[in-house]
Structure 1
Amino acid sequence: MTIRWPLLVRRVHKWLALVLGLQVVLWTATGMYMVAVHIDYIHGDHLVKKPPVASRNLAGFVEPSAILASHPLARGAKFQSFLDKPVWRIETQEGPRLFDASTGKQLPPLNLSQVEAAARGVYTGDPAIVSAKLLTTSPLEMQARKPPYWQVEFKGWNRPTLYIEPHTGELISRRHSLWRVFDFAWMLHIMDYSERTNVNNPLLRVATWSAVLMALSGAWLLLWSFPKKKAKKKVA
């Protein structure tokens, strides 16, 4: 049986266009959004203050070696301020912990008022807090980070939200509505509908190569549609 290549290519091109048409539109729309909104704004850099750089005299404070000696599995010590109180930040097996720099005693986990104060201390916008809660399960927007942590949402049209470490009061991450739209657009763009992180998943590869085949078949049909020049007959 003779294969009618133009008909076969036309059918392949048509069905690929029908199947991939919606995804191509999504690639275009989501790509435009991700380019139009500045990535620094998406990251939420405008929501938090830059940490102050200040030197401090360590005389009179407990040496970090004394704290590390009582916690042999701990590592690393950093002097910092927590709610205007000098502390040592120590990396323990359970995670970062704060120790009073004056007494060497470990500070307990943050309570609600301390968390709200820590969040207000780094937030640049309206300090009115809508909600603050300690999470033990990860919300969709924080799947990459294991709980527990505090979620503090501030008043605002874009639902600015800060995530706070429960023992140190440090900022873990920030989220807002345009970030959430970006995350949804990213999911549609890379076609990873579960983790939203795998840019080399099988579904995306199939769709990409199918789009390439659609483009090549369309180009072939375009070239084939041009009229063919007939060879001139030689006059005897």
Structure 2
Amino acid sequence: MRKIRWPQLVRRIHKWLALLIGLQVVFWTATGFYMVVVHIDTIHGDHLVRPVAAPSVALVGLTPPSAAASAVPGASEVRLISRLGQPAWRVQGEDGVAVFDARTGGRLGELSEAEARAAAKARFTGDAEIVSAVRLTRPVQEMGKRKPPYWQVEFAGWNRPTLYIAPQTGELLARRHQLWRVFDFAWMLHIMDYRDRSDVNNPLLRVATWTALAMALTGAWLLVWAFPRRKKRKSV
């Protein structure tokens, strides 16, 4: 029976594992470095928008919320909001969100382009001009699982700051910019979820992780084996 030459066998296994998983290990290192260097608060884009203050509105003279709720089938929530500086009832129904003027009780339609621009400008902290405002009816990757429609308002600048505005309420849905988009792409490479970019326990990632571990273990074995071992001196 031929004797197994363990160093040669382990070296061969290590080589093939490195060929299979080496590029992904480089991706893990590079993307992990980016996610550590760029602060998460910067990625979130908190610096791009002003905080929302709770609307201070005298309830005297407003229509009762029950009137707005009764006009929406399957109403489950009624909330007082400020839409473009005016009080409004936001009603969550079985078919979506409906908004009513809190003073007159009339149902409000969607924001126009000019109103969407005004809503975005009111939330934006910078002084850059708006370069485009588009009402999207198809989902975009950077909005994840949030369903359209929504207004996409982009401002000028190298970072391409973009605010997404709800067409019914004028509320801010999301803020995006170039550093966030790079982070999102890096996150996709890091977790190896190339479709939804959200599953951190997908089969491809698990296989790659175990393969990388096997590569590391075989490499460690070869490193230890490479050190010269002291031979016992023969007694004279």
Do they fold alike, i.e. is TM over 0.5? yes
Which residue is 1:132 aligned to?
133
**Which stretch shifts more, 129-138 or 53-62?**
53-62
The residue identity in structure 1 corresponding to 2:178 is S
User: Structure 2, unaligned stretches of length 5 or more?
Assistant: none
Which residue is 1:71 aligned to?
72
Percent identity between the two aligned chains: 61
Q: 1:93: Cα distance to partner?
A: 1.8
CA contact (8 A) 2:55 2:82 kept: no
Mapping for residues 5-20 of structure 1, pairs under 5 Å = 5-20=6-21
Is 1:41 paired with 2:53?
no
Which residue is 2:51 aligned to?
50
Deviation per residue, 1:31-69 (Å, 9 max, x gap) = 111011111110110111001235321011101112222
Mapping for residues 116-127 of structure 1, pairs under 5 Å = 116-127=117-128
SS of aligned partner of 2:52: coil
SS of aligned partner of 2:180: helix
**Which stretch shifts more, 152-161 or 83-92?**
83-92
The residue identity in structure 2 corresponding to 1:143 is G
CA contact (8 A) 1:120 1:127 kept: no
Q: 1:115: Cα distance to partner?
A: 0.7
Which residue is 2:202 aligned to?
201
* C-alpha separation in 1, matches of 2:54 and 2:79: 14
Aligned length: 235
Shift in alpha-carbon separation, 1:97–1:71, aligned structure 2, 3 A: closer
Q: 1:231: Cα distance to partner?
A: 4.3
- TM-score by length of structure 1 reads 0.93
Q: 1:202: Cα distance to partner?
A: 1.6
- TM-score by length of structure 2 reads 0.93
CA contact (8 A) 2:113 2:133 kept: yes
* C-alpha separation in 2, matches of 1:87 and 1:232: 92
Deviation per residue, 1:133-187 (Å, 9 max, x gap) = 1111111212321111111111111111111111111111110000000011111
Q: 1:127: Cα distance to partner?
A: 4.6
User: Structure 1, unaligned stretches of length 5 or more?
Assistant: none
SS of aligned partner of 2:218: helix
Runs of 4+ in structure 1 over 6 Å off: none
